[in-house]
Amino acid sequence: MGAGEKPDRPAEFSEAMADPDFVARIQASDAKAFEDVVRAYLEQVFRTARGAGLDPQRSEDVVQSTFVTFMESAHGFEGRSHVRTWLFGILYKKIAEAHRQSRREQGTESIDEQMEQRFRPDGSWARPPAPMDLQIQRREVLEGIQECLDGVPTRQRMAFVLREVDGLSTKEICKILDVSVTNLGVMFYRCRNLLRECLEKKGIKGR
Amino acid sequence: MIMLNCKEVTRIVASGELAEASRGRRIAVRFHHLMCRHCRRYARQLRALGDAARRLWGPGRDTDPETLRRLETAILNRRPALGATSPAGRTNGTKSSDDPHGA
């Protein structure tokens, strides 16, 4: 498949974009190559911006700005990472910038303390997880998750969305967010526990 | 076999370490889950959080086709200026390497 066609199979399309010829076209600011990248990733980039907590209008602004920066800086792209990794790295910076202007994030060290208190010195549960019915059909669950994620720092939230929603590998997420594998593990741990603790505090009952 | 306590299992599951753990470690976690209903519940709840995130922001969600068309047009319309873009015109500091995080 030529890179210009609409990607029926994302994996195959993704491979075409790793091709040295395609990388060369991106570096040379080839208009058609940019069009391919926009068509391939626009929806995913937009969904990720929404998942990272931006409202629809800010998401649109950030998405536009991300692709424009991508196009303007493409001459510096050397093909050592995938086009998508480069693009999402720019997206992350734009989202962090937008969040800095608009939201106050809570510190996350407290979640480590909260988790410590959940266990006895021998490592067994002192306060086990409460039963919660987290069925995704339940509106209160989905709304609760959105509310709870609002307090999570941008980088942790991005890590969570890139893994759970976009299904990206550890290696790729580390490159996008510029963190080590160990740091990424800590970010997943904190984000998932913040989210779970927050939902439990909201009193979502269930199994 | 390695014996893990609840705290260790919780950390392995939440940090995503399980996916890349050794076979022995994965078996130890599975064994612990067989014995501990609290850790089973914890792991089930974390899986449910991932399902919910996909439901909220996964493919086909929250993406109005009209919005995407409008965005695509707006972005592609900015391409012709590329040839004339000077370094000073760049809007965000991405450095000249494949690290997208700027200088």
Distance of CA B87 to the CA centre of its chain: 32
**Which residue of A134, A137, A180, A181 to mutate against B (max B Cβ within 10 Å)?**
A134
- Domains of chain A, by residue range, sit at 10-102, 109-201
CATH dotted code for A10-102: 1.10.1740.10
As assigned by CATH, the class of the A109-201 domain is mainly alpha
pLDDT at position A20 is 81
Q: How far is A134 from chain B (nearest CA, A)?
A: 6
Q: Render pLDDT for A117-171 as a digit per residue (tens, 0 to 9).
A: 999 999 999 999 999 887 777 788 888 888 998 888 889 999 999 999 999 999 9
- Six-digit token string for A192: 């998932």
As beta bridge partners, residue A119 has A125
Amino acid at A204: I
- Taking an 8 Å cut-off on Cβ atoms, the answer to whether B16 and A184 are in contact is yes
| ipTM value | 0.82
Quick one: which of A6, A90, A103 has its CA closest to A48? Answer: A90
Task: Enter the DSSP assignment of B86.
Answer: -
- Domains of chain B, by residue range, sit at 6-57
What is the rounded CA–CA span in Å between residue A131 and residue B45? 9
Q: In degrees, to the nearest 5, what angle opens at C-alpha B70 toward C-alphas A168 and B90?
A: 70
Secondary element (H or E) of residue A140:
helix A139-149
Residue with tokens 């911006």: A49
Q: pLDDT tens digits, chain B, 103 residues: what are they?
A: 789 999 999 999 999 998 888 999 999 999 999 999 999 999 999 999 999 999 888 886 657 888 899 999 999 988 755 543 433 333 344 444 455 554 3
Alpha helices in chain A (DSSP H): 10-18, 20-27, 31-51, 56-72, 83-102, 109-117, 139-149, 154-164, 170-177, 181-201
- Taking an 8 Å cut-off on Cβ atoms, the answer to whether B53 and A192 are in contact is no
Phi, psi of A135 (to 5 degrees): -60, 135
